Structure 1
Amino acid sequence: MQQAEIHDFLVRFFSSSGCSILPVSSADQLKVQLTKEMDKRLMNRPFYWHYIEQIGAEPELATLTFRLNDNDNDGEFIHFGSPRLHQIMNTVEELGRFIRMYQILPSQSAPALEPWLGLNLKISYQCDLKKDFIRSVGLQLINGTLIEGFQSMLKRLQLNQKMPDYCYTLSPLITINSGIRRIERFIEAELNTEPTDWADQANERWEKDQQLLDSFYDYQELKPERYTQEKKALEEQYKPVIKVKLINAGLFYLQSSTFLPDLIKDR
């Protein structure tokens, strides 16, 4: 993540959270007036908020100034890996874990909106090496149509948290829990068809290191505790595993005819 990308990310985050972006003297700076909610989440001053709310006083909301150039002295230096950026990303994950959105349609469109369940997943291939991929899957909760690249498709639509006037939503026939299980089965089936060369190579490296470890203790009939610990460490380092983690999810009321059938993956 480059500094320009961090700047854009911060602007989008604070703007969408209702915070005010204040004027700055340099393009390498960002100054933000926090809302009450963001102050509570980011500033770590619970005693202040407890006192203010007890006496019913008007709070003094914090202002944050970030600098994206390490040579600048004005503000908190923020970069990829910095504690503040990590804190903000965790906040994004907490706030955006599940959302509900509605598609904004042209006035001449049919008013019916169909329910779609969208999941964004991080798939991690782990051994002594690690590689992460993001998968985005959408499932229509009436007929079970499933598409990949759901998040990219959503970016092409106009969405709002409030249902548009003169529209109505269709009731789902598939429950949220059942929809999640369908997507899980789909992802699992796809993973089972993928090449396993990365895992085979990790197992080969694991076996070589295990043989080397055994050679160090070959002369000892009764292996010491250290041998057991090192053997376990090799397993933790090399054992191939695929982990799937939910990043966030959402219920989206959409008009399928505006983006189907080109994206249909399965049913």
Structure 2
Amino acid sequence: MVMNTEQIEHFVMRYLESMECQVMEKTPVYVTVKLSEQADRALTNRPYYWGFVDRTGAEPETMRFTFVFDPAKLPPERGPVSYVTAPAGQPPASGGTNQPDGGQDSIMGRYFGVAPAFTGGGGGIGRIPRENVHYGSPRLESMMRAAAEQGRFIALFDQGYAEHRPISRGPKRSLAYEPWLMLNLKVEFACDLKREEIHSLGISLYNGAIQEEFMEQLQQRDMSPKLPNHVHTVPSRFTVDQGILLIEDHLNELLKDIDLTWAIEASERLEEELDLLDAYYIPLLKQEQEQEAARAAQEAAPAVVPTIINKPPSSLIPPEDKEQLKESEQEQTESSVPMSIQEQYNMRRKELEWQFEPRIEIHLINAALVHLPHEQS
């Protein structure tokens, strides 16, 4: 799957907003942001700097970036930033662009390059580094990797229901939310061809009800990791492990109804490949067996006196040279023994079975513990 420019922009903005980055400038072509501490740690690869901050407790200075979605429409880059503007009619100070007072730099600025106006990257002080964000770019891959790692297991609460429903007075002032377990699963139908399906299943840990396309339902709600005001959660009657087993059983029932034509055709192609493999290797295997029988008969014949090769007495060889000589002889013996026909046949057969044998593989994409309004509340 290839993402277009609009999809990439949508993903990047959602990621930056979820990481609470400060958007400084936003256009249809690019976005300039000041990264949050969490995003800076995940994206900028500055372990020494963040190690220094963690050890000393210093105030961190996060980096700024301009992420470009459409480089062809990007306006020309502006000139360098001047910290002090000379009054009208007066030439600038010697040296061209005025530089900030060195006495204002902190220790971190001198040793780590984090001055108050420095934003990281090339181009000098005051320049915000630009990065083209397109499908396959390193920056987009790092964002996707960070999102996959940090969003693999989350907890969410429905905000819209609690905010828009009028709060009644009395003992029912607090709204009841019941827990749901959501599993987003990727089902792969694999053989020499591959097809993938995404299944989003949710199960209520209160009553065991299972709903399909659960992620699509959540996208229509205002979800947040924060617990809303005047809300309480009802106790679970099923554990998470029990919920996972029930979802697995439900998914297995769904897979029983799929069309198995692809598996039958893959099995037929596997049989054809194995027939070709046998047609090539079986004559070679018979020939190898005949050679082994002849070799065994030859070994049973009277032994021939071997030629004596003079070697230095082992007492004259240093211990370390003995080990090297032994390892060298062992390597020569292993490398000189070719793979037998039977071993080649077995290896090739396993390769064909792995490539053509139909199988269904299920992988977990992410999981969430979702709290939704209780039906009886």
TM-score band (shorter)?
Answer: 0.7 to 0.9
Equivalent runs, 1:52-71 vs 2, <5 Å: 52-69=53-70, 71=72
Q: Are 1:201 and 2:265 an aligned pair?
A: yes
Q: Secondary structure at the match of 1:79?
A: coil
Q: Are 1:228 and 2:346 an aligned pair?
A: yes
User: Match of 1:107?
Assistant: 165
Quick one: distance in 2 between partners of 1:247 and 1:55?
A: 38
Q: Are 1:83 and 2:85 an aligned pair?
A: no
Quick one: distance in 2 between partners of 1:116 and 1:162?
A: 16
Equivalent runs, 1:60-209 vs 2, <5 Å: 60-69=61-70, 71=72, 75-104=130-159, 105=161, 106-108=164-166, 111-209=175-273
Query: Unpaired runs of 5+ in structure 1?
Result: 259-267
Quick one: distance in 2 between partners of 1:232 and 1:189?
A: 30
* Residues 206-258 of structure 1, C-alpha deviations (whole Å, 9 max, x = no match): 22222222222242124343333222221221121211111111122212549
Contact 1:140 1:146 in 2 (8 A): yes
Q: Secondary structure at the match of 1:44?
A: coil
Query: Unpaired runs of 5+ in structure 2?
Result: 78-129, 289-340
Quick one: distance in 2 between partners of 1:124 and 1:219?
A: 38
TM-score computed with the length of structure 1 as normaliser:
0.87
Contact 1:78 1:84 in 2 (8 A): yes
Q: Secondary structure at the match of 2:242?
A: helix
**In 2 relative to 1, CA 167–241 (structure 1 residues): closer, same or farther, beyond 3 Å?**
same
Q: What is the RMSD of the two structures over their aligned residues, measured on CA atoms? A: 2.3
More strand by percentage: 1
User: Match of 1:16?
Assistant: 18
Equivalent residue letter for 1:229: M
* Deviation larger for 108-117 or 184-193: 108-117
Contact 1:31 1:64 in 2 (8 A): yes
User: Match of 2:370?
Assistant: 252
User: Match of 1:264?
Assistant: none
- TM-superposed CA distance for 1:53, in Å, is 2.6
How many residues of Structure 1 are paired with residues of Structure 2 in the alignment? 257
Q: Secondary structure at the match of 1:217?
A: helix
TM-score computed with the length of structure 2 as normaliser:
0.63
**How many percent of aligned residue pairs carry the same amino acid?**
35
User: Which residue among 329, 338, 355 is the counterpart of 1:237?
Assistant: 355
Contact 1:115 1:254 in 2 (8 A): yes
Which structure has the higher relative contact order (CA within 8 Å, separation 6+)? 1
Contact 1:7 1:30 in 2 (8 A): no
Contact 2:154 2:367 in 1 (8 A): yes
Is the radius of gyration larger for structure 1 or structure 2?
A: 2
